[in-house]
Amino acid sequence: MPRPWHLMTATLGAVLLSSASLMAEPGSVVVKKVLETTETASGRPITVPPHPELTVSTYTIPAHESLAMHKHPYARYAYVLEGRITVETLTGERFDYETGDVIVEVIDQWHLGRTGDGPARLLVIDQTPPGASATILKDKSATE
């Protein structure tokens, strides 16, 4: 039985293929592995709930935008379609991403994202228990 993250990898590959590629002549499709990992950006293991609900979204984040402090209780992946984004954790870790990078979000760690001089567009894939929230916003009064 395939592991749930194999399902995510296969789904991400299918989403990124264009309809032109699907109708291409045999032997003309080029596959380039972008990322293979078992860890989040901070080096923790990727954990996926059993029988996850898969949600695929696109995000467009304006230039010079700072996202609220938040965390993801479950696996979240993003492919940077355009632009740059910096992710900073509450503990001071910093990760810089640009067009073509894959983000394996930190799980259950408070963090925020900031864009630079241009907008960022992301293809985001969440794996959660059915009906569960993929993002929890940090209460400004919390000390954690």
What ranges do the domains of the chain cover?
4-137
User: pLDDT averaged over consecutive 10-residue blocks of the chain (144 residues)?
Assistant: 48 49 73 93 92 96 97 96 97 96 96 97 97 91 50
Q: Determine the pLDDT at residue 13.
A: 53
Q: What's the pLDDT tens digit per position in 3-21? A: 444 445 444 555 554 444 5
Superfamily of domain 4-137: Jelly Rolls (2.60.120.10)
Q: What's the pLDDT tens digit per position in 117-134? A: 999 999 999 999 999 999
Contacts of 67 (CB under 8 A, 6+ apart): 61, 112, 113, 114
pTM: 0.77
